[in-house]
Structure 1
Amino acid sequence: MSELVHAATYALGFSVPVALLGALFLHWCRDRSLTAAITVAVLTPLLATLAGVTAVSGFMFTSQLTTTVVICVLVGLVTVPAAMLFGRAIARRSVWEREARARERAAEAARRELVAWISHDLRTPLAGMRAMTEALTDGVVTEPAEVRGYLLGIGRETERVSAMVDDLFQLSRITAGALNLELTALPLRDLVSEEVAAQAAIAQRAGVTLAEVPSDWPVVHGSARELGRVLRNLLSNAIRHTDRGGVVAVAAGEVDGQGWLAVDDGCGGIPDGELPRVFDVAYRGSAARTPEPEQAAGAGLGLAIARGLVEAHHGRISASNHGPGCRFEILLPLAR
């Protein structure tokens, strides 16, 4: 019995310091590589066992001690690489979970912000429609010209609300991945000419010149309907933020085997800190709360929808400060 106690004392006397040293290494690795921490956690009990066995043997390399050392080394050759693999897998999973949680928090914040923006934007036209309807119902307005003006106002506000609902529906389809694109060989020149002509009256009322820059117009692989909406959103946004007398220019070309389409405006530029956010849902910048009377501000969904539609075409959209304003540039795959 005394020999057992003596051996246990020697084993504890040499294995406990090794275990404590391993605990110190683990504490040192807590803010470092997870792979290193798991490797230390695997090696510590193995080395502590080896130290205890060596101490009990009296540091005499007998055949039994040699066998024990060889077994510990073989176990280490198996467990250490396994620990490193497990550590890397756990680290990747941890990073993925953190990124997923960050995306969820960002999405939730974007949803709350979107609800706040839409609630505000819907309240304004609905309040105007209600006031004009009550004035007509109560007979406050009786002159034919005034009645016509009120009816036209109700019609404009109705179109505004309808456009918001349409944007929300389109954004929900993009988010849900429910877009069914009919992709064909699409000449960008035809698309640009059609959308520029459609926006000409709006640009004229805003005192903005719409221009098509002479270009080598590429033919891209895309959907005319969805890309038309992208260009329409970009042109509407450019016209809305360009001062009277300014120019909104559209150009296109090919680069690195892709077609590009750019819309330049005269908005005066966007602060560098806000550029990464221009395609976020419900983002409109600080000046969007006071639109010109003839141009109601959008719901902050146009650029988000444009990004979703471009990415559905396996393309990319970007924004940068360029000249007197901003450039929104789209890259799309060329038609084969």
Structure 2
Amino acid sequence: MHPPSGDRGRGFTLSVDLAGLFAAVLDLAAADAPFDDAADAVARHLLDLPGVVDAFVTAAGPPRAGSREVVDPLGTRAVRVVFDDHAEAHDRARLDAVLTLVEAAAGSRTMPLQRMRAGSRRSGSVVATIDAAGRWYAAPETVAHVLGHVRTGTDLAGLRSLVHPDDLEGLQRTFRHILAHPNSQSEVDIRAKHADGHWVVLRVAMINLLDVPTVGAVVVHGHDVTAVRAAERVVAEERRRIREVVSRLTGGVVLDDGERVILANSATARMLGRAPAPNTPIADFLDLVADQCHDPASAQVLLAQLSGTGVERRGVPFQLTGGRTLVCDVLPLGCGDETVPQGVLWYLRDTTEETTARSELEEHNRALTAAAEIKSRFVAVVSHELRTPLTAIHSFGELLLDESEGMNPEHVDGLAAINRNAARLLRLVDDLLLLTRLEALQLPLHRHQVDVPELVDRVRQDQSGSAADRGVALRVEVEPGPNLHADPLRLAQVLDNLVGNAIKFTAAGGEVVIRAVPEGDGWTISVADTGIGIPEHELPRLFEAFARASNAASAGLPGSGLGLTICAQIVELHGGRLTVDSTEGEGTTVRVRLPGDGGER
């Protein structure tokens, strides 16, 4: 078993004349002494005890909250003791023991020492006396109550046999010191053997009253503090763990009790050059922080406000010298139901690198935004400038083809190629303009009630000729369901693009199936083909602008890589989602899931 906590042999922690108190108690116990006179003396001594707010002689009456009365046997007069509600637990326990003795003395008014010893029965204490001959006396009941032993002898050797061997030397040294100094008093923790074999921790107070004629003994008061010491060890271990955790935090932690610093970790020293030592006044800690600031005077005012308001504040910035930035969280600490803060927890973070990185990122984002705007304007301008001449080329090409009768066949083929490529470039320009508007969130939707089966059938009709030319079967499977609130032109554009791609990437003899199935108040529309498929590793970047599957390019199939990107963004504007499943060499399925309200919530 570890030795009990507590200091050995130091002065009695109660700053009170206990010799005088015991003498006054004995006077109170004397049958021939006036109660008020003796009680006045006891009350004056009790006022010096920690945990006592007031003590005075008054008429006996009903007990009051926060007080205790020691009543005259006649029941007319009493010593009223008013307690301090915030007294330490060990002071209150000691005070209760003393008052028990006073109460016992007042109740007997005879045989003072015997009654004093008997009065300890209810207090978890042993009161014993050791006379000049070295004989000790204690009520057997009290020893049995605290230690389980029934001791009737007066030999000190029997008393020593109960003390733990590791504590005996300290107890003897304290006792010798008491004997050498009349009217002196000391306290020490010892372990005493209980009858059932476990050790009881006693806080032993000894007062040398050998020179007091009415006492003539050393009065020993042993109070059972086993549970208190165990609780103190638990608290000490928890404090050690908390200190360990705090010491490992990267942020600076400073804890104060409202007046002085209790704790500061090493991270605080790294931020401020040094950490405030325990018991440093709060004002000195605030000066330490202010001295590191670019504007110490303003920082001092702000710190004083943070310390004194009792209001939680987070993320308070301080600009330090050298361009550093310190962010401070201030957390007032309460105690139980108390509304007045019992201290403050200061949490400090050096955010210089974080602030610098954020500024650089913001600058980078601004540059990217400006570049994107320039790109969008450039694409829009170039696309617009290209569209006009391409429209003219396409129109004149169609006109020449209409008048191609009698032309050389090679010239006719050349005109057809011009017309075909002009149309292709026009589609590319239109896609670029549409993508620019989508990225700038400038594409308005004109929502109406859309009949999905009718929309799918119209797309089938538009694409049936292209499917027939390539020898691809085009099939539709549609179930009845509710209307969609959507832009019919944009949805038709999406389905035309998906079905057109499916036909383009499917060889002759293959099949393209359009399915539309209602789900709740929305729809899922899928386009499945038996075409060349898409390599699995290329699927994640499929929705990027200008991205094309490598096998499509190697097969010589034309395309800009913009169609699927545009389709996905139009679907998202409707509150839906577009997904792709594909197996290379087997085919691709594109699914469009659309809510009934078209994303207009």
Interval of TM-score (by shorter of Structure 1 and Structure 2): 0.5 to 0.7
Aligned length: 264
2-structure distance, mates of 1:239, 1:265: 8
Deviation string, structure 1 residues 16-47 (Cα, Å, up to 9, x no partner) = xxxxxx99968xxxxxxxxxxxx986574569
Q: What runs of 5+ residues in structure 1 fail to find an aligned partner?
A: 1-21, 27-38, 55-60, 137-141
TM-align CA RMSD: 4.6
CA distance in 2, matches of 1:327, 1:40: 61
Equivalent residue of 2:558, what SS? coil
Q: Which residue of 461, 481, 485 corresponds with 1:197?
A: 461
Offset at 1:256?
5.5
Distance in 2 (CA, whole Å) between partners of 1:259 and 1:291 is: 34
Q: Distance in 2 between matches of 1:149 and 1:40?
A: 84
Residue identity opposite 1:329 in structure 2? R
Q: Alignment partner of 1:251: what SS?
A: strand
Q: Distance in 2 between matches of 1:150 and 1:273?
A: 40
Task: Please name the residue that 1:19 is paired with.
Answer: none
- Pairing partner for 2:276 from 37, 50, 54: 50
The aligned amino acid for 1:326 is T
What is the CA-CA distance between 1:242 and the residue it aligns to?
1.2
Q: Does 1:160 align with 2:408?
A: no
Look up the equivalent residue of 1:305 and give its one-letter code.
Answer: I
Aligned to 1:299: 560
Query: How far apart are the structure 1 equivalents of 2:539 and 2:597?
Result: 30
> Could you tell me how far apart the structure 1 residues matched to 2:412 and 2:592 are?
43
Per the alignment, residue 151 of structure 1 pairs with: 415
1:174 partnered with 2:438: yes
1:81 aligned to 2:329? Answer: yes
Distance 1:70 1:173, change over 3 A: closer
Q: Deviations over 1:298-322 (max 9, x none)?
A: 2111111111211222221111127
> Which structure shows the bigger proportion of residues in strand conformation?
2
Secondary structure of the 2:276 match is helix
In the alignment, the residues of structure 2 paired with residue 185 and residue 237 of structure 1 have an alpha-carbon distance, to the nearest angstrom, of 27
Shift of 1:49: 3.5
Q: CA deviation at 1:187?
A: 1.4
State the AA in 2 paired with 1:184: H
Identical pairs, percent = 29
Closer, same or farther: CA 95–183 of 1 in aligned 2, 3 Å = farther
Equivalent pair of 2:482/2:521 in contact (CA under 8 Å) = no
Letter in 1 for 2:544: D
Matched-pair contact (CA < 8 Å) for 1:219–1:335: no
Deviations 1:125-164 (A, max 9, x none): x9xx9xxx9xx9xxxxx85444333332322222112111
Q: State the shift of 1:202 in Å.
A: 0.8
Structure 1 residue 275, shift from structure 2 partner: 0.9
What is the Cα deviation at residue 325 of structure 1?
1.5
Deviation of residue 270 (structure 1)?
2.0
- The structure-2 alpha-carbon separation of the partners of 1:46 and 1:85, relative to structure 1 and needing over 3 Å to count, comes to closer
Query: 219, 234, 248: which is aligned to 2:512?
Result: 248
**2:596 aligned with 1:334, yes or no?**
yes
1:238 matched residue in structure 2: 502
Amino acid at match of 1:238: A
SS where residue 179 of structure 1 aligns? coil
Which structure 2 residues correspond to residues 98-247 of structure 1 after superposition, within 5 A?
104=368, 143-247=407-511
Which of 309, 312, 326 aligns to 2:570? It is 309
The counterpart of 2:551, out of the listed 255, 279, 287, is: 287
TM-score (normalizing by structure 1): 0.62
Bigger proportion of residues as helix:
1
Relative to structure 1, the CA distance from residue 217 to residue 201 in structure 2 (aligned partners, 3 Å threshold; closer, same or farther) is farther
Relative to structure 1, the CA distance from residue 86 to residue 304 in structure 2 (aligned partners, 3 Å threshold; closer, same or farther) is: farther
- Partner of residue 261, structure 2: none
Report the secondary structure of 1:213's partner residue: strand
The correspondence of residues 11-26 of structure 1 with structure 2, limited to 5 A, is none
CA distance 1:25–1:172, shift in 2 (3 Å): closer
Give the TM-score normalised by the residue count of structure 2. 0.37
Residues 284/70 of structure 1: CA separation in 2 closer, same or farther (3 Å cut): closer
C-alpha displacement of 1:248: 0.9
Which structure ranks higher in relative contact order (CA pairs < 8 Å, sequence separation ≥ 6)? Answer: 1
The code of the aligned residue for 1:321 comes to S
The SS at the match of 2:537 is coil
- Whether the 8 Å contact between 2:478 and 2:517 is mirrored in structure 1 is no
Over 3 Å counting, the alpha-carbon distance change for 1:67 and 1:223 in structure 2 is closer
Instruction: Give the gaps of 5 or more residues in structure 2.
Output: 1-246, 252-264, 289-305, 314-326, 331-346, 401-405
1:255–1:241: structure 2 CA closer, same or farther, 3 Å change rule?
A: same
Q: Is residue 580 of structure 2 the alignment partner of residue 319 of structure 1? A: yes
Alpha-carbon distance in structure 2 between the residues aligned to 1:85 and 1:198:
65
Whole-Å separation in 1 of the counterparts to 2:416 and 2:578: 37
How many Å separate the matches in 2 of 1:42 and 1:216?
70
Contact 1:218 1:253 in 2 (8 A): no
- Amino acid across the alignment from 1:303: L
C-alpha distance in 2, partners of 1:307/1:95? 33
Change in CA separation of 1:40 and 1:284 when aligned onto 2, cut-off 3 Å: farther
Pair 1:47–1:143, CA change in 2 (3 A): closer
